[in-house]
Amino acid sequence: MVKRRIDNFSIAQICDSGECFRMTPVNEDTYSVIASGRYLEVEQHGDECIFSCDEVEYEEFWKEYFDLGVDYRTYIEKINPKDTYLVRAAKYGSGIRILRQDLWEMIVSFLISQQNNIVRIRRCIQNICERYGEQKVNFRGDTYYTFPEPEALAGLAEDALKECNLGYRSKYVVRTARSIVAGEVDLAAIEKMTYKKAKEELLKLFGVGEKVADCICLFGLHHLQAFPIDTHIRQALDAHYKRGFPRRRYQGYEGVIQQYIFYWELRGI
């Protein structure tokens, strides 16, 4: 077990922020997360967090995964104090962090996200993992499943994932898996690209539009300048930023600000 006191970190807020779909409440204070084949539980009381891993795993993987080397307070402090809407949103979601997640998993996750809600996205991904992922056992002795590699999905019929409740999105995922396995898409190369170039490459994938590409850039490549615009964000921009959102003020971390807005709107405040 690893204990840390961490400012501007809320595992509950991250779980509900729409960026990670393999994070689940275990009880009121504890959440589980599956990432890169690993299983973790995080128990949190205020700013005190207990991670169910050893120091080596925490330092080598989870610290970076949760972006804990960055002081998110600096992002919040730079918000225009006259922008009372954004000040409230950031205060409300001040525990959100942009996770450093697997690119392939994020591509699939946000292909599935189109015209879908968080609960259904989680269920779809759980179905895919249980059917095509690798079975493992966590420290409690319980079974969990890894996220399937592209090779596990590339050989499927285009409509095979309808059985996992993906509907028309099944063909998006299967075709993308085939492109990766065939070498038409190089994920390792995309990971080294700038935000602009990476987005251009992602837009070439079947089923990927502007919003999905930006989500993948933000949550799968950690390009914090990505600013995904979905229905919630569009409504917020139309209501509070009729002259346009001041992205230049928050240049380089617009995606963090976007998440504060998204969480605020999602929670219906």
Return the active site residues.
211
Q: Are 199 and 214 in contact (CB under 8 A)?
A: yes
DSSP codes joined into one string, 215-230 = HHHHHHS--TT-----
- Residue 71's CB is within 10 A of a number of other CB atoms, namely 11
Which residues are within 8 A (CB) of 97 and not within 5 positions of it... i.e. 6 or more apart? 8, 9, 14, 66, 67, 68, 70, 72
Rg (CA), the chain: 18
Name the strand (E) or helix (H) holding 30: strand 30-35
84-92 and 231-240 helices, crossing angle to 10°: 140
Q: Is 227 exposed, middle or buried (0-12, 13-18, 19+ CB in 10 A)?
A: buried
- Buried residues in 116-147 as b, exposed as e (16+ CB within 10 A): bebeebbbbbbebbeebbeeeeeeeeeebbbb
In the block, tokens 């139309």 appear at 238
Listing from the earlier edge strand, what are the strands of the sheet with 2-5? 2-5, 48-51, 38-45, 30-35, 23-25
